[in-house]
Amino acid sequence: MVQVMQIEDLRRVLVLAEHQRLTDAATALQMNQPTLSRLLARVEEQLGARLFERDARGVHPNPLGDVVLAAARDITARYDQLRHDLASLLDPDSGTVRLAFLDSMATSIVPRVLHDFRRVAPHVRVALRQEPGHEIIRDLASGLAELALISPRPPGAHGWLPLQRQRLVLVVPSGHRLAGRRRVRLEEVAVEDFVTVPSGFGFRSLVDDLFAAAGVAPRVAFESGDLATIEGLVGSGLGVALVPEQFAGASGTVGIPLSAAGAERVVGLTWRTDRPLAPAAARLRHFLVSAGRFD
């Protein structure tokens, strides 16, 4: 039966190399000398090489032993770092949460969530990933992200906690023919140049569904993955757009409520349900469940 070398075997060999006497090393390791001698013989047999030379002064590493000792120092240091890193990740009071979020949430709900969570868990580190929705879903599947703030709710094995409802408005440049309206129907903007996010984004699906329900299709002139950029393009007179209400006005645009059912974006927390969350991530989820909506 082949014996597998243990991390502790390498630590004991390092102690032996430090003391260079079996008696002294055995005392430091709190074992008897014959047991340490057998351990050294087993390690040398497993590695297929004599590592120490024995003489009247004790035991001394030979050139092959120096190679093994250098590797042993590296292996034990890496193992200790691994144990430390895992302990940090698994500690709900000082671990790390890997949180992904959409670009459009960078200045709204994300700062509020982090600010409020920091008050109750000041030593938990939150590693942020800001990216499009399809990349968030990929990172949740691979484990690069544990939790995500996203919209809409993703399909499949994902938990869902709605946190905020954002009313959608039509943004138009100041001076636009519709700028003075209190409400607008999507049929009225079918002839306008439209600025929106690219196909494949969750927000684009929401926009397309609203237009489809109105029986019209937008005339897309420009696409951008960033809602703030879209609002800026509208402010420059390059078209009109649908955005969450909080984006309206930043570039001098005017936001007009829609006469359309379901004209809102629901932002929520999601996570994979086919694997357990690490304690720090579970703590953030529990905090958000207890905190309720961020309206």
- Phi/psi class of residue 220: alpha, beta or left (left: φ > 0; alpha: ψ in -120 to 50)? beta
Structure confidence by residue, pLDDT tens digits, 118-174: 999 999 999 999 999 999 999 999 999 999 999 999 999 999 999 999 999 999 999
pLDDT for 58 equals 86
pLDDT for 118 equals 94
Distance of CA 163 to the CA centre of its chain: 18
Question: What domains sit in the chain, N to C, each tagged with a CATH number?
Answer: 7-89 (1.10.10.10), 102-161+272-291 (no CATH), 163-266 (3.40.190.10)
pLDDT for 89 equals 67
Structure confidence by residue, pLDDT tens digits, 217-271: 999 999 999 999 999 999 999 999 999 999 999 999 999 999 988 899 999 999 9
Per cent of the chain over pLDDT 90 is 74
Query: Does the structure show a pLDDT above 90 at 292?
Result: no
Structure confidence by residue, pLDDT tens digits, 19-43: 999 899 899 899 999 999 999 999 9
Structure confidence by residue, pLDDT tens digits, 59-82: 999 999 999 999 999 999 898 888
pLDDT for 244 equals 96
At 91, the pLDDT band (50, 70, 90 cuts) reads: confident
- Taking the complete model, does pTM exceed 0.75, yes or no? no
Query: Does the structure show a pLDDT above 60 at 204?
Result: yes
pLDDT for 205 equals 92
Give the mean pLDDT of the chain.
Answer: 92
At 1, the pLDDT band (50, 70, 90 cuts) reads: very low
Query: Does the structure show a pLDDT above 90 at 85?
Result: no
Task: Please compute the mean of the pLDDT values over residues 98-113 and round it to a whole number.
Answer: 92
pLDDT for 88 equals 67
Query: Does the structure show a pLDDT above 90 at 96?
Result: no
Report cis status (omega within 30 of 0) of the bond before 152.
yes
Query: Does the structure show a pLDDT above 60 at 283?
Result: yes
Query: Does the structure show a pLDDT above 60 at 2?
Result: no
